[in-house]
Amino acid sequence: MGETVASHVRPLKLDHATLIVEVDEPMWATQMKFLEADVLKRLNEGAARPITTLEIRVKKRR
What pLDDT does 47 receive?
Answer: 82
- The residues with which 23 forms a beta bridge, in sequence order, are 9, 58
Q: Could you tell me which residue, 48 or 57, shows the higher pLDDT? A: 57
Residues 9-21: what's their mean pLDDT? 95
* Mean pLDDT, all residues of the chain: 92
Model confidence at 43: pLDDT above 70: yes
Please report the beta strands in the chain, taking only residues with DSSP state E, as ranges in sequence order. 9-15, 18-23, 53-58
What pLDDT does 1 receive?
Answer: 67
pTM summary value: 0.86
CA distance 46 to 33: 23
Residues 12-26: what's their mean pLDDT? 95
